[in-house]
Amino acid sequence: MQVADTVYAKTDAGRAEIGTRQHRLAPPMRSLLLLVDGRRETAQLRRFGETLRAPADAIDQLATLGLIAPLGSAAATPEPAAAGPSQAAQRYIALSGLMSEAVRENLGLRGFMMQLRIERCSDADELIALLPDVTAAIAKARNPEFAREWERIARSAVA
């Protein structure tokens, strides 16, 4: 178990995982891995994990897989100072969260297949292409005006 003020950084394997997806991490775990940058303390990463609905032990899981390590260990190297989640990663995280929440809130169990489609998206552009389908499902479950307003808010959040 990690100490609350431990700072984690991606290992070489963690950076490789971003591109290869070898471990087939669940979307919340992958998003959390993207946020590990060698500057954020464990407590802050845990809060991000809760927001992303990652498992409570997500940081431990990433460390066990060798994708992150405490800063200062031989395996861990911090991201360059200007790094952090790229703008594309931030758009993806924000939009996938908004879409998943909307499906959960408005479609319930009927939204299971839509949720799977959201989770299969690998970047913000794929999520944006899926927006009309999510909007149509929300319109059917709630009403068209509500759905249009939701889509307007979702698009403005990632503009």
Residues with Cβ within 8 Å of residue 3, at least 6 apart in sequence:
42
Same domain, residue pair 56 and 103: no
Average pLDDT over residues 7-23: 85
State whether the Cα torsion 134-136-137-143 is positive or negative: positive
Domain identity same for 29 and 62: yes
Is residue 76 assigned to a domain? Answer: no
Quick one: pLDDT at residue 83?
Answer: 52
Pair 104, 148 in one domain: yes
Q: Which tens digit of pLDDT belongs to each residue from 27-44?
A: 888 888 878 888 888 888
| Whether 92 and 148 share a structural domain | yes
User: Does residue 82 lie in a domain region?
Assistant: no
Assess whether 15 and 48 both reside in one domain. Answer: yes
pLDDT of residue 1: 46
One domain, residues 91 and 125: yes
* Chain mean pLDDT for the chain: 83
Tens of pLDDT, residues 98-147 = 898 889 889 988 899 999 999 898 888 999 999 999 999 999 999 999 99
Give whole-number Cα distances, 71 to 10, 35, 39, in Å: 9, 14, 9
Structural domain boundaries enclosing 104: 87-157
Contact 107, 43 (CB under 8 A): no
pLDDT, position 4 = 55
Per-residue pLDDT of 41-88, as tens digits, reads 888 888 888 877 889 999 999 999 999 999 876 555 555 544 556 778
18, 37, 70 - which closes a domain: 70
Q: Of 23, 42, 70, which residue sits at a domain end?
A: 70
Distances (CA, A) of 51 to 97, 98, 101: 9, 11, 11
Report the number of distinct structural domains present in the chain.
2
In a domain, 77, yes or no: no
Does 139 map to a domain? yes
Is residue 27 in some structural domain?
yes
Provide the whole-model pTM.
0.49
Instruction: Please indicate, yes or no, if residue 80 is contained in any of the structural domains.
Output: no
Q: Is residue 16 part of a domain?
A: yes
Is residue 113 domain-resident? Answer: yes
